[in-house]
Every structure is written in structure tokens, then in C-alpha cells.
Structure 1
């Protein structure tokens, strides 16, 4: 079942790269008591994700925070080392928290997976963005396959 507006975020664990190496991040700790702008990309270092999606949230980080967002996070079904390297190369440090969903547990729990096997990617998370307040989905923007419109930072700013 696909998550909807008004639903609680499922309990899962992400991994993030820190100065001390990979560290687990419980979804409850990430979302509870905060307003979080989170977006999912099909893959780190992929064309649209690297040219538009992540850079848009980095560029609009201050504007999002000025509208009440406590944390901005990017997730993908990639390992923590890839997500850490991608965030570093894109200049995400201090602006966007890079969350590895290495086994796709979060994407599956959300009901937002896609089959990227035609491109050699296997099962991945769909491209989407959400505004989550205190663990509850307030806005959910799921892209149609191949599109990049409603999950952008610009669209999210209009929703806040």
C-alpha cells in the first residue's frame, strides 16, 4: 500500500556517513518533533538527480528553512558510501542530510518502489518529495515515470 497524506512515516532505519564512518539513523529520530523536507531519487550520480534534484534542494535550503523546515534530507536506494560521496561532491554538507536506504526498506515501507532493472538499477525508490511534520506526511509529491516537476525544491517552497 502506498503512503498517503495524513499517514505516519513507517519505522525504518537509514544510514548516513559521518566523520566516524557509517551511522544508523532511525526514522523516528529523524521525523518526530520536527518538520522535515525529504526527497527520494532513483539513484545517486544519475543525470536528473545530479543535475537538478539534489542541486535544487541545496540551492533552496535557506529558503526552505526560513519557511519552517527543520531538516532537509535526500534518500536513495544506494549504499552509504555512495550517498556520502555524492553529497560531498555536490556540496550538500550542512544543507541536505544524505540518507542511504541501502536495502530499499524505506522505499518498500512507503509503497514507493520502482523497477529500474531495464537500466541495470534493480528495485529503487521512486522520485518523490514529502513534507513531514512530527512524523506525519503533510504533503506528498510523487513524480510520473521520467518526470521531474512536483518533487522539486521550488514546488515544495510553494507548498509551505
Structure 2
């Protein structure tokens, strides 16, 4: 991922709640674009290999949710989690974790992840093509800072986690703010 690079323009196929739809699945399709998510705001985007997977579900996503208000204090308008999973899986995952603040972005076909240069094969785990784990500060659609885990490669034997942790991203934002204030 390249700093000062504009995020790719893609259309994300999402599902949104619609109270006019009866039954157990009151959702409809809604297309949202990169501009809808990234234009005119400073956000944290983080990506991970998959919904419901151990590190993603027990550490990374819950910790971004828990630290959300701390990120807002550092000038962040929103936090998004993107994964190469479809809208149904992402909605179920958000519901299972009780998310209130972090928004999930389904990248079912992996188009956004591929155009970000972060698509890797995870065939060794039976996942197929997925995202490498990373986080980024994106300001008005342009990558301001990136936090990419080490070892980027197809079929990586390890699942590195630390560089893209919310704690590391938050510490980096705070340090940059302190330097600017000095």
C-alpha cells in the first residue's frame, strides 16, 4: 500500500435494514462507493483475512470498537473494517459481535482489496483469496499513513498481528499529534 495514493474507486454491494420488508431478513441491497465511505472525512480503514476468524474476532475488530472514542479524540471521523467476505457474512459478524461504532464494508469479490494491492492467496487455510492484514489512516480518500503487517505473501504460514493493531495505530496518531503541537 502506498502513502499519498488515492484509494481505488469501486462499488461495494451492501445490505441495509429496511423496515418496509417483512420477515426474518428485513434487508435490501444498497450499492455504496469508495466516495461514499472515504470522501470528505478522515477515517481509519483496517482489513483482515476473514470474518469470524480468531484474531479478527477476538482482538482486532473488538479492540477498534472499544477504542473508537479515543480515535475520535485524535481527529478520526469513522472507522471501517473491510474484508473479502460478502454482505451477508459481514452483517452476521457485526451482529454476533454487537458492533455499535465500527462499520463493516463487504468486499465480496475482493475488487477493492486487489486494487489496494493487498489481495493474497490463503489456499493453505482453505480461504482462497483474502486480504493481507493492514490498517490505514485515509484523509479525503488519500492514504495518509499505512500499517501493514510484515511478511506479505501468498499462503503465509503465520498470521502476523501487531503493526495494524488499534493500539499501535492510536499510539502513532497520538505521537504525531504531540510532535505537531510541540
Same fold by TM (over 0.5)? yes
Cα-to-partner distance string for 1:42-63 (whole Å, 9 max, x where unaligned): 0000011001110110110111
> In terms of Rg, which structure is larger?
2
Contact 1:16 1:98 in 2 (8 A): no
| Runs of 4+ with >6 A deviation | none
1:124: Cα distance to partner? 0.5
Give the distance between the partners of 1:121 and 1:92, measured in 2 at CA: 24
> Which of 27, 31, 54 is residue 38 of structure 2 equivalent to?
31
**Which protein, 1 or 2, shows the higher relative CO under an 8 Å CA cutoff with sep ≥ 6?**
1
Q: Give 2:77's match in structure 1, choosing from 57, 70, 80.
A: 70
Structure 2: runs of 5 or more not aligned: 19-26, 152-158, 174-182
Q: Which sections of structure 1, spanning at least 5 residues, go unmatched?
A: none
Alignment TM-score, normalising by the size of structure 2 = 0.83
Query: Cα RMSD between the aligned structures?
Result: 1.1
TM-score by length of 1: 0.94
Matches within 5 A, 1:1-160: 3-20=1-18, 21=27, 22-93=29-100, 95-145=101-151, 146-160=159-173
